[in-house]
Structures are given as structure tokens and as C-alpha cells.
């Protein structure tokens, strides 16, 4: 006779094993056991996803912080696009702690020089973070926050912020830096530094706090002056330029010359000197379209024999 699929196989019942009788577990005990296992599972700390550190590139994000606009002679400003508040996992954000003495919040540096502390714009550290407050600032579509100005080594710096927004759980903003005197053929470093709090990570569920920073490097402005080595005729105590060249597409251009090398000991291509403050210097401003600075005459001290001639050219970016 064909066996039916539902026939019981011919062996001892499951409650009989090795000659001993095992009692089946009552339903109420099974329910109690399941409840206790659930309580134990909830009591075990769950893994927490921490937010991002400001100093790191955000993992998996192709829209990373970067230089958005590199300076040119015709557009002499720097734009840095960066995120400054993270909402994934535990929020990450700048604190109001002073990075520079007397100035609350994170700080901005250009070529190692302190420029400003945009605390209102970059620090949203109320309680465990104030992401809701930043939500109200989105899509401003214009200049946002304050205007920061500072003069360092004869250069006027202006810093402003444009149109904060949100992408991939992070708040972003464009920071625009304007320098009224900028060296050609020179890269510039922009650094943002501050005390950063990261809410609830695995190593410190209460939140970790540490100094964090990011540095961005611009491309150099093309050397619009090329390699100009002026020719000059020398008489006792003076020299006069007889052959030189200026770029006729730009101007007004100021040419300054001096034989005092002390001004250039720490030049490194990133420092501008006001011609009026340069010792033993002569300078003159030429209008746009001028092709040379022939005739510029410099007096110098004959004592000491040989000398070095230092020339600085600068364009007035506010006109011409």
C-alpha cells in the first residue's frame, strides 16, 4: 500500500530520549521566556551612528567642501564652499569657544594670518545643537550674516557669507574672501578652525569635543607681468630705468623700487608693502594702457659697494 505523505514515521515520540521522559514546556513559560529575552535585548546598548568630524571629507559624499572660485585679476576674490553643521546621527557643530583670544567661535585665517571669527554664522551650538535654527536660515538667496574686515600687513581683507543651504544632511555656505592687494603667481591658503562637538559616538556617548580644522589652497593668479627685468643706467648715487614693460590690459599699476633688502627677508611671495613705508624707495602709479615705466629714477646709498634692486608691482583693483 502506498504511504501517505502525512503518515508518522515509525520512531519514538520526540519527548522520549535515551530512556528518559521529557516534559513539554507549558505555553505560559514560553511566553515568559520570550518576554525576558526581549527585555535583555533592549538593555544591551545599541550601536550609535556618530556625526561627521569637520576636519574630514564626508564619507561617500561627492559634493565635498572645496574652493568654488579661484581668484583672478578681474575677479580678485576667493569663494570657499563648505559644510559647517552635520545632522546625520549625532549632530556635529562648532562651539562658541574662543579660537582666538577675545573673539568667540571658530576663526578664519588666510596664509596663516588671523582674519575674523564668524561666530554667528558658523556656530549653532544651543543645547545639543540648533539645527532647527539653521533651517530657518535656508534659501536666504543673498548675503547672509555680518561683514568682517581686517587690515593685516597693509592688505585689507573682507569676509562675507552667501546663501546657506542644506544637502545630504549637512548645512553648507559660501564664504567669500576679498583681498584688495593680492600677489600674482602665488597660491593662498584658507583655514577654518574651531572647537567642534560631536554628539553621541560609540567611544563617548555623551559627545566628544575637540579642535578641528580644514585648509583649502587656491590656484595662483597668472603672472600678468611676466618676467620683467628692467634695464637702467647708473650714475653715482642713482639709477634710471631705461627699458621696462607693463601689461597694457591692466591698471592703474603702481611700480615701487628699493635697494633695502630688509623688506624682503620674509617676503615669500605673499606679503605686500605699502610703497610709502618702504625705506629708500621710489614709486609711481601708471594708468591702464601704459606699456613701460621708463624714466623711474631711484636714489641709493653708494656706501657698501654692490646692491640689489627690488621691484614690486601692484594693480589698483578698486578702479581701472
The DSSP string of 93-160 is EE-S--SBTTB-S-EEEETTEEEE--HHHH---STT--HHHHHTTTT--SEEEEEEEEEETTEEEEEE
Name the DSSP class of 41. Answer: H
Domain containing 184 equals 66-217
Domain boundary among 159, 194, 217: 217
Across the range 286-313, mean pLDDT stands at 86
In this structure, the answer to whether residues 254 and 133 fall within a common structural domain is no
Greatest mean pLDDT among 19-28, 114-123, 269-278, 301-310: 114-123
Burial level of 173, CB count in 10 A (0-12/13-18/19+)? buried
In this structure, the answer to whether residues 73 and 124 fall within a common structural domain is yes
In this structure, the answer to whether residues 148 and 105 fall within a common structural domain is yes
* Domains contained in the chain, number: 2
DSSP β-bridge partners for residue 108: 116, 192
* Tens of pLDDT, residues 152-208: 988 899 999 999 999 888 999 999 999 988 888 889 999 999 999 988 655 555 568
Which pLDDT value is given to residue 15? 33
Inform me whether the pLDDT recorded for 29 exceeds 80: no
Give CA–CA dist 108/173, Å, rounded: 14
In this structure, the answer to whether residues 86 and 213 fall within a common structural domain is yes
Task: Decide if 41 is inside a domain.
Answer: no
* Tens of pLDDT, residues 193-229: 999 998 865 555 556 899 999 999 999 998 888 777 8
Q: Give the model's confidence band at 247: pLDDT under 50 very low, under 70 low, under 90 confident, else very high.
A: very high
Inform me whether the pLDDT recorded for 36 exceeds 70: no
Which pLDDT value is given to residue 225? 82
Which pLDDT value is given to residue 150? 98
In this structure, the answer to whether residues 245 and 177 fall within a common structural domain is no
In this structure, the answer to whether residues 277 and 192 fall within a common structural domain is no
Amino acid at each position: 500500500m502506498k504511504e501517505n505523505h502525512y503518515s508518522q514515521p515509525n520512531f519514538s515520540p520526540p519527548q522520549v530520549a535515551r530512556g528518559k521522559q521529557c516534559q513539554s514546556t507549558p505555553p505560559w513559560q514560553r511566553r515568559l521566556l520570550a518576554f525576558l529575552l526581549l527585555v535583555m535585548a533592549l538593555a544591551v546598548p545599541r550601536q550609535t551612528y556618530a556625526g561627521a568630524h569637520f576636519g574630514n571629507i564626508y564619507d561617500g559624499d561627492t559634493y565635498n567642501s572645496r574652493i568654488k572660485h579661484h581668484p583672478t585679476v578681474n575677479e580678485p576674490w576667493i569663494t570657499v564652499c563648505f559644510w559647517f553643521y552635520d545632522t546625520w546621527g549625532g549632530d556635529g557643530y562648532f562651539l562658541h569657544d574662543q579660537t582666538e583670544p577675545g573673539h568667540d567661535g571658530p576663526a578664519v585665517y588666510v596664509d596663516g594670518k588671523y582674519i575674523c571669527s564668524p561666530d554667528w554664522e558658523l556656530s549653532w551650538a544651543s543645547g545639543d545643537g540648533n539645527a532647527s535654527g539653521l533651517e530657518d536660515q535656508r534659501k536666504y538667496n543673498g548675503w547672509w550674516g555680518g561683514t568682517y574686515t581686517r587690515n593685516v600687513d597693509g592688505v585689507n581683507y573682507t569676509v562675507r557669507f552667501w546663501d546657506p543651504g542644506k544637502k545630504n544632511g549637512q548645512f553648507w555656505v559660501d564664504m567669500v574672501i576679498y583681498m584688495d592687494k593680492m600677489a600674482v603667481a602665488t597660491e593662498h591658503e584658507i583655514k577654518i578652525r574651531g572647537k567642534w562637538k560631536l554628539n553621541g559616538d560609540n567611544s563617548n556617548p555623551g559627545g566628544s569635543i575637540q579642535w578641528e580644522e580644514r585648509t583649502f589652497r587656491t590656484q595662483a593668479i597668472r603672472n600678468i607681468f611676466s618676467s620683467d627685468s628692467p634695464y637702467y643706467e647708473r650714475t653715482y648715487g642713482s639709477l634710471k630705468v631705461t627699458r621696462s614693460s607693463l601689461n597694457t590690459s591692466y591698471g592703474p599699476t603702481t611700480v615701487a623700487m628699493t635697494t633695502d633688502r630688509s623688506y624682503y627677508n620674509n617676503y615669500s611671495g605673499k606679503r605686500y608693502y605699502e610703497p610709502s613705508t618702504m625705506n629708500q624707495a621710489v614709486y609711481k602709479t601708471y594708468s591702464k594702457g601704459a606699456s613701460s615705466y621708463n624714466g623711474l629714477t631711484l636714489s641709493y646709498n653708494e656706501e657698501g659697494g654692490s646692491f640689489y634692486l627690488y621691484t614690486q608691482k601692484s594693480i589698483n583693483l578698486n578702479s581701472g
